[in-house]
Amino acid sequence: MNLNKQKALVENWPPLAAIEQEKDRRARNKIQSYYPDAGPLRRELYPKHLSFFAAGKKHRERAFIAANKIGKTEGVGGYEITCHMTGRYPSWWPGRKFDHPVNVWACGDTSKSVREILQDKMLGPMGNFGIGMIPADSIVHTVAKAGVADAVELVYIRHATGKNSVLTFKSYDQRREAFQGTDMDIIWLDEEPPMNIYAECLLRTMVSNGLVLLTFTPLLGLTELVLSFLPGGRLQENAS
Q: What is the pLDDT of residues 72-89, one digit of tens each?
A: 999 999 999 999 999 999
Q: Comparing 162 with 182, which gets the higher pLDDT?
A: 162
pLDDT for the residue numbered 69: 85
Residues 52-79, mean pLDDT to the nearest whole number: 95
Per-residue model confidence (pLDDT) at position 239? 40
Give the pLDDT confidence score for residue 89 in this predicted structure: 98
Q: Residues 180, 200: contact at Cβ < 8 Å?
A: yes
For residue 37, pLDDT over 90 is answered with yes
pLDDT reported for residue 127: 84
Sheet strand arrangement including 139-144: 61-65, 211-216, 186-190, 103-108, 164-171, 152-158, 139-144
Q: What is the mean pLDDT of residues 5-32?
A: 63
209 in helix, strand or coil? Answer: coil
pLDDT at residue 232, as a whole number: 75
pLDDT of residue 70: 87
Task: Count how many domains the chain has.
Answer: 1
Q: Between the CA of residue 13 and those of 8, 9, 143, what are the distances in Å?
A: 9, 6, 43
What is the spatial distance between Cα 73 and Cα 121, in angstroms, rounded to a whole number? 8
**CA-CA-CA-CA dihedral for 194, 196, 148, 64, to nearest 10:** 50
CB atoms within 10 A of CB 42: 11
Mean pLDDT of all residues in 152-176 = 96
Domain residues for the domain of 156 are 3-238
Q: What is the pLDDT of residue 28?
A: 60
Q: Work out the pLDDT band at 63, boundaries 50, 70, 90.
A: very high
pLDDT tens digits, 93-120:
999 999 999 999 999 999 999 999 999 9
* pLDDT of amino acid 240: 41
- Could you report how far apart the first and last alpha carbons of the chain are, in Å? 66
Q: Tell which residue, 61, 79, 70, 60, has the closest CA to residue 132.
A: 79
CATH number at residue 132: 3.40.50
